[in-house]
Amino acid sequence: MQTRQKIGILGATGVIGQRFIQLLDAHPWFEIVWLAASDKSSGKTYGEAARWKLDTPLPERIAGMVVSPAAPEGAPAIIFAALDTDIARELEPRFAAAGCAVISNSSAFRMQADVPLVIPEVNASHLDLLETQSWRKESGGYIVTNPNCSAIGLVLALKPLVDRFGLESVFVSTMQAVSGAGYPGVPSLDILGNVIPYIRTEEEKLESETLKLLGKLSGARIEPLDARVSAHCNRVAVEDGHTESVSIKLATRASHEEILAAWSEFAPLAQYALPTAPSQPIEWSPAEDRPQPRLDRMRGKGMAATVGRLRPCKLLDWRFTVLSHNTIRGGAGAAVLNGEFLAALGKLAPARDQVAVSA
């Protein structure tokens, strides 16, 4: 790509917004030119507005940028969005209606019939739904979403098994990091030395998004995978990295070796050379006590899902553990990968320019 495409970040001051800045500041294809957040932040410099929480320094250029109001006027045509769901429900359609490509992290539109919910390694064909969106037809804008942070690791691990053996049932129990709740998130007195066995709407999202992601595009709609998913979601005192204990029933028999082969041979994006795509999206950890969040969450620069502890299950067929970084693979990194994939397909195109040309 010759020149970097200008992009904006909506919700730039939050947990995912900060990850966007970390991943996009020196990105070879994209250039951050616009940052927006709530009224309490707009008008301030980013350095004043954001409490930078990452372990790499806040880039000086970004610290000096002035945070804009969260409105499409003056925004670039490509927007990476990390807004709270209720705000996203109101604001993302405004940006799409104004001709922006909105690459969203929020759950607001993930399950809407004409909105693609995409992991490029899993269901790239679902991006065809973009052409059916009313925003696309009217303004050139669109919304594409990435899944919930606990669905991404699970679905990456399931996809090669669905393709080779079919899948009937999944039982999953999550141990989710506190950063998954945004900043400041769960009060320290609630979570230190504790486990909270409830995350509002998380089990519903994990169950429904998994089946949409593994579903098939049929005309202008997605037919969800015909399987059953039962999820238990827990918040644990871990900073970053969601761990999930998974039991599965496959449609056909598979051996230990065949499952490991399905995971290790899974490299569906190999031909695209996307900057954020890990060469090995699913990494196998043979140690009996891995994966662990502190030790394994940064595999593949935070974009790989690590699987381990594959063993027979006495209720279903097989059980294993999967771990993924919730704010990178499960959040900002997922959206950046969606943006890169759309760019590689020639579909990210500055939508307003298209409208201007065709007008």
Ligand X SMILES: NC(=O)c1ccc[n+]([C@@H]2O[C@H](COP(=O)([O-])OP(=O)(O)OC[C@H]3O[C@@H](n4cnc5c(N)ncnc54)[C@H](OP(=O)(O)O)[C@@H]3O)[C@@H](O)[C@H]2O)c1
Question: Known catalytic residues?
Answer: 149, 242
Nearer CB in complex with ligand X: 10/167? 10
The distance of closest approach from Cβ of residue 161 to ligand X in the complex, given in angstroms and rounded to an integer, is: 24
Q: Can you tell me the distance from the alpha carbon of 167 to that of 174, in angstroms, rounded to the nearest whole number? A: 20
For 345, other C-beta atoms within 10 Å of its C-beta total 13
**Alpha carbon distances (Å) from 248 to 155, 157, 324:** 12, 11, 18
DSSP 75: -
Rank residues 117 and 310 by Cβ distance to ligand X and give the closer one.
117
Smallest distance from ligand X to CB 322, Å: 16
Residue 181 Cβ, how far from ligand X at the closest point, in Å? 7
- Nearest approach, Cβ of 329 to ligand X (angstroms)? 9
Helices then strands, each counted (H, E), the chain: 13, 14
Report which of 44, 264, 311 is spatially closest to residue 12, judged by C-alpha positions: 44
Q: In this complex, which beta carbon is closest to ligand X, that of residue 262 or of residue 299? A: 299
CB of 52 to ligand X, least distance (A): 12
Measured from each CB, the residue nearest to ligand X is 14
For ligand X, the binding residues (CB under 6 A) are 11-17, 37-38, 40-41, 70, 82-85, 87-88, 105-107, 149, 179-180, 182-183, 326-327, 330-331
Please calculate the CA angle 311-242-194 and round it to the nearest 5 degrees. 100
**Pick 84 or 168: Cβ nearer ligand X:** 84
Measure CA 206 to chain center: 13
- What's 331's DSSP letter? I
Angstrom distances, CA of residue 22 to CA of 9, 266, 338, 344: 12, 27, 16, 21
Q: Which of 165, 282, 156, 162 is nearest to 225 (CA)?
A: 162
Buried b (16+ CB within 10 A) or exposed e, 250-262: beeebeeeebbeb
Q: Which is nearer to ligand X, 17 or 300 (CB)?
A: 17
